[in-house]
Amino acid sequence: MSATVYILRCADGSYYAGVTEKDLETRLSEHEQGVYDGFTARRRPLSLVFNCHFERITDAIAFERQVKKWRREKKEALIRGDFEALPKLSRRGKKHGKNAGENR
């Protein structure tokens, strides 16, 4: 069973990541109509800024959960297609490691 992961940009500038087994146009229409009360229902209008199709729904769900944890900068790199920036943006707090502050 296949699925699509998508990111919406909300009217307030926030991002919403979701996953659907439906065709993307139907799911976007549901968001725009406020069919489900939730995050996007209070932040319309919405625009689709990213989508990626997966052949296996389990892979789509895993990716959506990962993206939901990302900071804004990393989501924006994904939206831009700047895949080289993604690993760099994952290295948050590196200077707070075990040897932080030591002079070498």
> What's the token pair of residue 96?
């707070």
pTM score, two decimals? 0.85
**Does 102 have pLDDT greater than 90?**
no
Strand partners, 19: 5
Domains in the chain, ordered, with CATH?
A: 3-89 (3.40.1440.10)
Q: CB of 34 within 8 A of CB of 11?
A: no
Q: What is the pLDDT of residues 11-50, one digit of tens each?
A: 999 999 999 999 999 999 999 999 989 999 999 999 999 9
> What's the token pair of residue 66?
């990962």
What are the helix (H) ranges across 1-104?
Answer: 24-33, 57-69, 72-80, 85-90
**Does 68 have pLDDT greater than 90?**
yes
- Centre a 10 Å sphere on the Cβ of residue 85 and count the other Cβ atoms it contains: 15
- pLDDT for 60 equals 98
